Amino acid sequence: MHGVEGINIASGELAAIVAPPDFAVELILDYLNHSDGLLYVSGNSSLILPRFSRFKLSFDVRRAFTAYQLMQILEEAHQSMLFIEHDGFEDEVSHSFIEALFLGMREIARDGAAVIVYSYKMDRFMDFIVRNADRFIAARKVNGGFVIWDSGVEMFVHSNNRTLGDLYG
């Protein structure tokens, strides 16, 4: 998958991202400029979906209001990229169910899809995903751009355009 300049989520990779919603929007827009076949999964409330025009962009959207619904969506997924926006259902699930969800996500990635599990904050669910994912990316807004930590590499990216060019190290 193409990504924000300097961020490339490969097919077969499970990535955990903790970042502001603006970063996720940029990542999705860049992916849609190069590919199709995106399944966007969100829960009760999405911080990202309202930022898109449904008339200008084309991707599949599914809602998972419970962890069990998320498991069902994972079983039915066939798209080349899954973007899962986590919004905090971790109170209803046990550690073993979080592990089962992770294994379902990892299986989809191993079957060739790029899988991103996104949240704007850390919690018990994201902690498990971050510790076990193929890759962890964290970003925060700073001075008109983003400071990004990508599996140990730190970079600064301006956000004055959609491709987020002008990398600084």
pLDDT profile of the chain (169 residues), mean per 10: 65 96 90 86 88 76 89 94 85 84 96 96 93 95 86 73 37
3-state secondary structure (DSSP) of residue 29: helix
pLDDT value of residue 43: 85
pLDDT value of residue 44: 83
Distance (Å, whole) CA 116 – CA 108: 11
pLDDT value of residue 121: 92
pLDDT value of residue 162: 38
pLDDT value of residue 138: 95
3-state secondary structure (DSSP) of residue 154: strand
3-state secondary structure (DSSP) of residue 33: helix
On whether the CB atoms of residues 117 and 129 are closer than 8 A, the answer is yes
Which CATH superfamily, name and number, covers 14-141? P-loop containing nucleotide triphosphate hydrolases (3.40.50.300)
